[in-house]
Structure formats: C-alpha cells, structure tokens
Structure 1
Amino acid sequence: MTDTRTAPYAALILRLSLGILFLAHAGLKIFVFTPAGTAGFFSSLGLPGWLAYVTIAWELVGAVALILGVLPRLAAIAMIPVLLGAIFTVHGPAGFFFTNPNGGWEFLGLWIVGLLALALIGDGPYALRPTPVGKR
C-alpha cells in the first residue's frame, strides 16, 4: 500500500537525486574532460564529435528541469536516450558490473529504472508547474 503522505517526498528525493547526477555528469564532461575532449572521445567511438556538445546540453537542460521540477515526468523520459546511448556505445560491451574495466552498465540500468519510476510516480512537491493558458 502506498503511503500518500510520504510518497510525494519520495518523488522529490528521486527527482533531485536524478537531476544532481545528470548535473554532475555534465560537469564532468565540461570541467574535467572538457567539451573538446568529450567530442574527441565520441569521435574515437565512431560517433560524430558534435554529438558530444548535444549530449552535454541535453544533460544540463534535463538536470535543471528535474531539479526545478519543470515538466519532470517528460524530462525523465527524455533523459533515457542519453543513458541508452552510453550503454550501447561504451558501457554495454564492458559487461554488467560497473566495477568491470571501462565500467559496466549496471549503474546506467538502475538510473534508467529511477527515471521510469519518477515518470510513473509524478513530480513530487516543490515542482515548478507551468500554469495552463486558460488558468492565468
């Protein structure tokens, strides 16, 4: 049975933690690997280098949307392709366990499950909900 008093706060914690994770990973690409270095890594995988910049922007926008609660259900679903891309290009071939050399895909799989759970459970409290046009 779902506790309707505390479940919204679980959604809030999930939304914030997922958003912070994406913010951290975008920051890693910007401040540690650098955007040019990330583009070079993408190129080494056979992907177009410009896709690195799209990925960084996608992670930043998704992170902010999740943290602020701006359409977080949609943002959660929109972030899944980024993780699937990481699984199919880098982490999948390394196996399941994240402790494998080059990191496996277990963490990314759990991250996807968290995003799906958030999409199903809802925004949680303290979300910035857009006001419908007719309700202004």
Structure 2
Amino acid sequence: MSTNSETNSTDYAAFVLRVTSGVAFLAHGWLKVSVFTIPGTVAFFESLGLPGFFAYLTILAELGGGLALILGVGVRAVSIPLIAVLLGSLWAHLGNGWTFSNSGGGWEFPLFWALIQTVILMLGAGAYALRLPVLDRILGKFA
C-alpha cells in the first residue's frame, strides 16, 4: 500500500513526463510545418517508401497529441498513436546507426522517446490534468 506522499510523487512525476513529452511533440510537429513544410514532409515520407498521407497523420498526431499531453486530456488514449509515430521514426532512422548525432539521425532518441511514452501510457495523466467528464466516460481507464 502506498502512502499519500508516494502517490503525490508519482502524480507529479507523471505530470513532468507528459508535459515535457508534449512540448517535444509540439516542437517536432511545428518543425514539420514551419521549417520542412507540409509538402516537404510529405516528400520525405514518400522518399522512405511510405504513403504521403502518413505525413499528415504524423503532423496531426504530433501537434494534437502534444497539446493533449500538455493539457492532460485523454493521455493514455493519446499515447498509443504517439508510440506508433515514434516506432515509425525508429524504423526510419534504423539505418543511420545508434546516435542521433549521426548523419540522418540515429535511432537511440526515437527508441528512448517511445519508452518514455510507454511509461506515460502506464502512469496516466498524473497531477494537473484537465478532466473532461464526457471523455472520461467514453475512454474509461484510457482517459
């Protein structure tokens, strides 16, 4: 049985993880829109042999998912597609070696981030989460 201080520590840890991960997702999504541009991102996905439509889904997941994580809305449900995005990024970087400083970026950062997102999935929203009763009813334990 955990004490209140342990529960609070876990809630605050979940809060810090979800907000920092959310900010990183927003940054990555915004980079695809503002620097690489949407057409450039689509072209990159197609150069990997992926359908260009995946670029739009990725941008939506990163921007929408990042915002949801920061707000603490549907955190567990949002984590699942974000993990899929990160596993796709891991796949895209596999041939570039281990470290992300390698040409084209290595695969250790997407792997680490996928594991962090998995921890967020397990912990849930934690402290300071925006609770939407209708979403809680729809998603249940995945809210």
Match of 1:26 in 2: 29
Match of 2:106 in 1: 104
Residue 77 of structure 1, aligned match among 70, 80, 93? 80
TM norm structure 2: 0.85
Is 1:62 matched with 2:65?
Answer: yes
Match of 1:114 in 2: 116
The whole-number CA distance in structure 2 between the counterparts of 1:116 and 1:53 is: 23
Match of 1:45 in 2: 48
Relative to structure 2, which stretch is displaced further, 20-29 or 112-121? 112-121
TM-superposed CA distance for 1:3, in Å, is 2.4
TM-superposed CA distance for 1:128, in Å, is 1.4
TM-superposed CA distance for 1:126, in Å, is 1.3
TM-superposed CA distance for 1:110, in Å, is 0.9
Corresponding letter in the other structure for 1:125 = A
| Alignment size in residue pairs | 132
Relative to structure 2, which stretch is displaced further, 12-21 or 115-124? 115-124
The whole-number CA distance in structure 1 between the counterparts of 2:115 and 2:89 is: 15
Deviation per CA, 1:39-92: give whole Å up to 9, x if none. Answer: 11111111122221121112111111111111111211220110111111x211
Corresponding letter in the other structure for 1:8 = D
The whole-number CA distance in structure 2 between the counterparts of 1:27 and 1:58 is: 11
Deviation per CA, 1:103-135: give whole Å up to 9, x if none. Answer: 1111111101111111112211111122156xx
Where in structure 1 do 4 or more consecutive aligned residues deviate above 3 Å? none
Identity %: 47
Residue 10 of structure 2, aligned match among 2, 7, 12? 7
In structure 2, runs of 5+ residues without a counterpart are 138-143
The whole-number CA distance in structure 2 between the counterparts of 1:46 and 1:5 is: 46
The whole-number CA distance in structure 1 between the counterparts of 2:21 and 2:40 is: 25
TM norm structure 1: 0.89
Choose between structure 1 and 2: higher helix proportion: 2
